[in-house]
Amino acid sequence: MATKKQFLREYVKAIRDGNAAVFAGAGLSRPSGFVDWKELLRPMADDIGLNIDEEHDLTAVAQYVRNKSGNRAAINSSILDAFSKDVSTNENVTILTSLPINTYWTTNYDQLIENGLRDANRNSDVKIEYKQLSNTKRSRDAVVYKMHGDVDHAADAVLTKDDYIQYDRNHPFFRSVLQGDLISKTFLFVGFSFEDPNLDSILGQIKLLLDENIRNHYCFMKKVTQTDSMSDEEYGYQKAKQDLREDDLRRYGIQTIFIDDYSEITEMLKELEKAVLANNVFISGSIDCFDAEWPKAKIEELAYKLANHLVKEGFKVTSGFGIGIGSSVINGALDEIYTNKFQHMDEHLCLRPFPQGIEDQTERNARWEKYREEILGNNGVVIFMVGNKKDTVSGKKTVADGCLREYQIAKELSRVIIPLGTTQDAAAVIYNEVKNEKEQYPYLEKYWEILGTEKNIDTIVSAVMAIVEAQRAV
């Protein structure tokens, strides 16, 4: 049995390293209103005189339906009816498709994963038939392998016993590709019952090949509990069966995370998302007017060292190229990237300069608002420093309203907010508001004085690094 903490730690690491994958079963789609395999077959089983609740080999039931009718028309029609309806993407799908995971496998016929990726502004490369395996979609963000077919190709869906027997002939290479992914990636199985003959065969082959060197994977399983209608003997049987299933999955490297209620899956996925996003840090700020306490050289040094230390510790820094700060953030990040990060700039630095040249003020405000929402949606930590600009009419210093708006969005998204109030202006406004609600920011408890008054750059940077490291840890 895997602990929740172990799962989060190892799967977050796999996501950061680019080695994470998801295998989705019917349970992932059920909250959106789609049926599982048993419910799909129930009316067809009734038609041929079978009680689906008494049957354990569902592939055989599907085969009986096919044999009785003489063709697949009834099966194809059921798939179309069950999976063509308009449903909403559920929260678990939304989280999983928003995360920077590049590989998704599913036995589901529905299109929730593809739709979730599209909603997250990610370009999916969907593989339904073997001829698509050799093609690579341009600018893809994720690959979705639908190893049992798709609702739009119901006639080719894998469901009957014959479909499984002929799988390698009709779907060549799918098993081989999955086998390779199971060897090289860390999988999270969601909504999967592990009763699929294809997966069982693949896991057995990997076990035979790698023995004790098999990779760790994870799955969720609801703990057997004794209900009022369940006898002690029946409960003991179900519990023993579950323990045996856990032991069997462990043979294949699949560690079970037991839950009491399915809502716990959503809570764990939220924690997973938060930990992954905590690796992405947005430095918000601008400065048009300097003073004796924070002269130009000192502000630039602070921005440089913040970015440099963050990249050094493996964080990804995002900059909106704020005036007076953006260049130093970029230089600090790049110096570390080119020295010690094998020049992998995209892994450690994201540049998001705001769109310019939009004369219409209303359109400009709308565009910038959406831009801010996108930036903050992709970053779990926001550092606010300075935040001032010259008033276009008076020429006098004023607080940068853009920084204040970014704070509001960050607050709405429950991001980790680190205001360097000591640098004054918008950062000071944010610092004072946050401090007045300090119970909502327990991670800042030890650092209020440093963030509010400290002028030593190294002390400030050390405090910020301690805060972000604590947020990234799981």
The answer to whether residues 315 and 471 touch, using CB atoms and an 8 Å cutoff, is no
The tokens describing 75, both together, are 């099966």
Q: Radius of gyration of the chain from Cα atoms?
A: 27
Return the closest-CA partner of residue 464 out of 319, 350, 314, 302. Answer: 302
Computed from CA positions of residues 346, 347, 352, 353, in that sequence, does the dihedral angle turn out positive or negative?
Answer: negative
Tell me the residue ranges of DSSP E strands in 232-380: 254-259, 280-286, 316-319, 349-351
Query: Which is it for strands 186-190 and 20-24: parallel, antiparallel or unpaired?
Result: parallel
From the number of C-beta atoms within 10 Å of its C-beta (0-12, 13-18, 19+), residue 262 rates as middle
Q: Name the strands in the sheet holding 186-190, side by side, starting at the edge strand that comes first in the sequence.
A: 124-127, 142-146, 103-106, 20-24, 186-190, 217-222, 254-259
CB 114, CB 152: distance < 8 Å: no
The alpha carbon dihedral of 200, 25, 275, 309 has a sign of positive
What is the token pair recorded at 300? 């630039």
Q: Are 281 and 468 in contact (CB under 8 A)?
A: yes
Contact 147, 106 (CB under 8 A): yes
Structure-block tokens of residue 277: 């996003």
114 in Cβ contact with 125 (< 8 Å)? no
Catalytic residues: 148
- The pair of structure tokens assigned to 386 is 């300075």
Tally of helices (H runs) and strands (E runs) in the chain = 21, 14
Nearest to 215 by CA among 253, 180, 189, 241: 253
Sign of CA dihedral 445, 451, 455, 456: positive
- Token look-up 């400030």 returns 460
Beta carbons of 422 and 460 less than 8 angstroms apart: yes
**Which helix (H) or strand (E) is 43 found in, with range?**
helix 37-47
Q: How many CA atoms, within 13 angstroms, populate the side-chain half-sphere of residue 283?
A: 38
- Say if strands 397-399 and 388-390 run parallel, antiparallel, or are unpaired: antiparallel
